[in-house]
A and B are shown apart, each in its own frame.
Chain A
């Protein structure tokens, strides 16, 4: 350590600052949850956690959560795989582009939006199920939850498979074809095995996302209770922190395990994609035997996605969709004359404040990990990643418990939201910055140092310009994610700052579906506008990396 300080004074300062920041903003909140769970006035007492695991009722909640995560992970992974294969091996030109963007559309859906339109379209009085087909379908319970989650999370799998399929060397398939293998056999014995890390990675990421999902179980859960909503209700309904942390700890463990298992499995290889080796083969399009089922799945999914979005807009612009379809602006009037306007500016402001902070925090930690020789630097990486691995509601609970009393009384301030947003989104910037730094030859920086530049100057004039794109993508990711997250901030709301997703939750609570749809429409518009503006400012590439 001493030698490090002597050799790299700037790095040592940076490491100290990062350590303090991580300890304060990541470790301390999560430890607060743990402390509340295992310490009572009398000393060690883990009864909140053991109660969740031993009581048959709460154990059912745990089982429900894991079942939902597993099925959702499987479903969304397969759907994303089918969509990616269709885009790469069935469609060409404009059709491919259209499918590409449609498949990614659910990424910008605010919480509740797709669940809302599922009720509009496929609910008990749904436009499609009841009024068109005369079916008696209930979207409440596991079935409805899976339907919405599979569509919501499929873009995650789609993006992973999309990049993997692009990397496949067509020569391999060509070779198999020349040896007489059918396309189906090639899919089974060449493509799928090559994509194996993609399956593992997509499944695990979606498993974690599904576990953390708060909005859909609140609206569509029926009697199917899950851990995330149990944490939320224990605080909001009773302010019973011991009860909440019991659920939170049980939710935290599988999430963290799955998250780090995914990283172990997929590693950085998923991010570093530049091999520079030109391929000789021609991309082989599938024959009808594969094309038709893939097209059927993809077209159905695309129509569903578009229909769900259309239903959100329809719900926003009609009086009571399905009951009274008169066009109206009443929903928007209610939203904008009420808290909506404040919520729009507050949420945009806080998200924009946190985005660059998150991106640069990620960069600084990435720099520490990749470029310095600080002992134990990998720990920084793992600790910051906890911000993404912990379910949003658990992170929010930790921040609530950590900062609701002196000396760190931040309840109701802007700072508490900025902290929550930063901790939640900095890990993505960290990953892309690490990938970017790994691709830069250290000799560039060494050259700068040899010419007499200090570490700070080298970082500013050599490193930073080279990782610019990764940082920008971190900013964009953080901003969009901040705008649309509910679970992280659901427990932090206060009268001083209005958050749009929390307002949507409020409308949904009162079953005011029209205003909920109007809020969602506004939120979608803001996010799209931001993406377009940033695209104009910084070019397309950064945006594509981010999404």
Chain B
């Protein structure tokens, strides 16, 4: 179900915990699975839970509790814009509007070409760089202006 490379990464995570505490690695295992598959289908979650030897529902609880797991397919690039207070004060609204306009989609929508998904995020612990968004849970883009947004989108296209 998962590539050898992903399994190897999960195995690395498992080394961080006592041998009889495999559940501890579920957060990373789901993250690794999502990175490979793009999102977490119920089959993927079941695979992870059986790989770790925990009940499916226990993995499901985790997958649904944390915001960065995707339980529905998303575009190739998931752009999560922080709209929390510090970003809001520095006009994240205009960034959101710009993205809406530019991509033609609202929050929780994906462009027809399957390239971009837009999400609203909570505080990302990077408020000094507001306004900001991150891409695919990994790349943080700070001090955004509409021009900078265009540049980033250009680069991704």
Q: Do A and B bind each other?
A: no
A residues near B (Cβ < 8 Å) are none
